[in-house]
């Protein structure tokens, strides 16, 4: 959904001003989306690195992939248990 700001254009000017404003709003919405995605990406990278550090420091058995799966399933189970009560 595009956010369009309509303004009164003084007489004698073209409709290109409306197009320019619409393009700026679309660009702003696109930029906000890119920022949200980049924030989520950085959070995912940080969580992965923290899990890798903990896995290495505690010398946990198995692979890092297994540890991440255990953390993920534990979180999911906790959410499901909270919903059922």
Q: The whole model's pTM is what?
A: 0.56
Q: Which residues of the chain have pLDDT under 70?
A: 1-23, 74-85
Residue 47: CA count within 13 A, CB half-sphere: 10
Contacts (Cβ under 8 Å, ≥6 apart) of 16: none
For residue range 58-79, list pLDDT tens digits in order.
999 999 999 888 888 765 566 5
Domain locations in the chain? Answer: 16-84
| CA distances from residue 42 to 35, 65, 78 in whole angstroms, order as listed | 11, 19, 24
DSSP 25-61: HHHHHHHHHHHHHHHHHHHHHHHHHHHHHHHHHTT-S
């Amino acid at each position: 959904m595009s956010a369009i700001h309509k303004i009164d254009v003084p007489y004698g000017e073209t409709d290109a001003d409306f197009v320019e404003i619409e393009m700026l709003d679309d660009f702003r919405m696109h930029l906000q989306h890119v920022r949200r995605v980049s924030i989520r990406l950085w959070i995912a990278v940080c969580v992965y690195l923290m899990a890798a550090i903990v896995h290495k420091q505690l010398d946990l058995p198995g692979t890092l992939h297994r540890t991440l799966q255990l953390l993920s399933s534990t979180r999911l189970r906790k959410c499901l248990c909270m919903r059922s009560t």
